Amino acid sequence: MTGAAGPAGPGGPARSVVVPEVGPDALPGAMVRSDTGGAPVDRRGLLLGLTAYLMWGLFPLWFPLLAPAGAGEILAHRMIWSFVCMAVVTSLMTGWRPLWRLGPRQWLMLAAAAVLIAVNWGVYIWAVNAGHVVDAALGYFINPLITVALGVLVFRERLRRAQWVSVGLGTAAVVVLVVGSGSAPWTALVLATSFGLYGAIKKVVRAAPTVSMTAEGLIQLVPAAVFLVVLQVHGGGTLDRGAGHLALLAVTGLLTCLPLLAFAGAAQRLPFTVLGGLQYLGPVLQLLLGVLWFDETMPPYRWAGFVIIWLALVVLSLDAVRTARRGRAPA
């Protein structure tokens, strides 16, 4: 998940507003500029954007179908089959030469990115299977604020007043949740932080998104395969459940790649204000699923925390829209 507003550039205020990609599986390194002015919204772009965010929002419905596979086994299959999908896409779009041209420093950073996204995926899968869908939704609501905070701490970016207000509100929301529950919302914080750090790495790695994602999959491939073999040998795997079960596990990789490809198409066609509004569809759907489908409890303190987070996101979004309009004014 990502921020509704692009933070200021290093050492100074932002000259244009950008929106990183959003969702449990998105690539934060890609940016969408608000440069369409008052042009009509592209219908195909809107359809692609809705498809991506609907898939991300409805993802919690998929994992229960993979029972009795545990979170670790599902994660390993997701790594393997996502790599298979991206290998096909890379072969068709760019070829493998750009991958082999990556330098040692790029491979090292992509290895760190692969670990972070694996942590994000694993915690997300565990959260859904363990009945913490609402916590997962909270994590992706918090993520834009984590992204802004990382901009300050890591990239020494300077925030506008509204962005500071948003970060303060986000911090207050976490305090409310901690006081209300007696413990920190660790699931949400790990999801938000792991994806925020993943985005920070993708921001500085000079590689096309398709190439970098394929490289990450290649790094994950061997550990995932070894884990599945060991798990199956020790009787903890579910590969003996038949071809139908294996097919469902394989489809998880396809469901990882399809929304990313749909988002890439939407990012090229939609203005910032439209894409920035769509980004909250995913966690909203996850929250609704958690409450209405999975019957998770929502005590008053949790509603209070969510309301404060939503207020922070409203402030962040309005600031982003205002900044985008100012950027277009001279033209």
Q: Please list the residues that pair with 20 across neighbouring strands.
A: 31
Neighbours of 166 (CB within 10 A): 29
At residue 106, the pLDDT reads 93
Average pLDDT, the chain: 82
pLDDT at 331 over 90: no
Spatial separation of the C-alpha atoms in residues 241 and 225, rounded to whole Å: 18
Inter-CA distances, 264 with 28, 50, 66, 83, 260, Å? 11, 12, 28, 18, 6
Specify the amino acid at residue 309.
I
C-beta of residue 127 within 8 angstroms of C-beta of residue 187: yes
Least confident residue range of 82-86, 186-190, 317-321: 317-321
Q: What pTM was computed for the model?
A: 0.80
pLDDT at 3 over 70: no
Question: Where residue 44 falls among pLDDT bands split at 50, 70, 90?
Answer: confident
* Selected residue with higher pLDDT from 263 and 16: 263
* Residue 157, SS3 per DSSP: strand
Question: What mean pLDDT do residues 206-214 have?
Answer: 85
* Residue 105, SS3 per DSSP: helix
Task: State pLDDT tens for residues 283-303.
Answer: 989 999 999 999 998 999 889
* Residue 20, SS3 per DSSP: strand
C-beta of residue 4 within 8 angstroms of C-beta of residue 320: yes
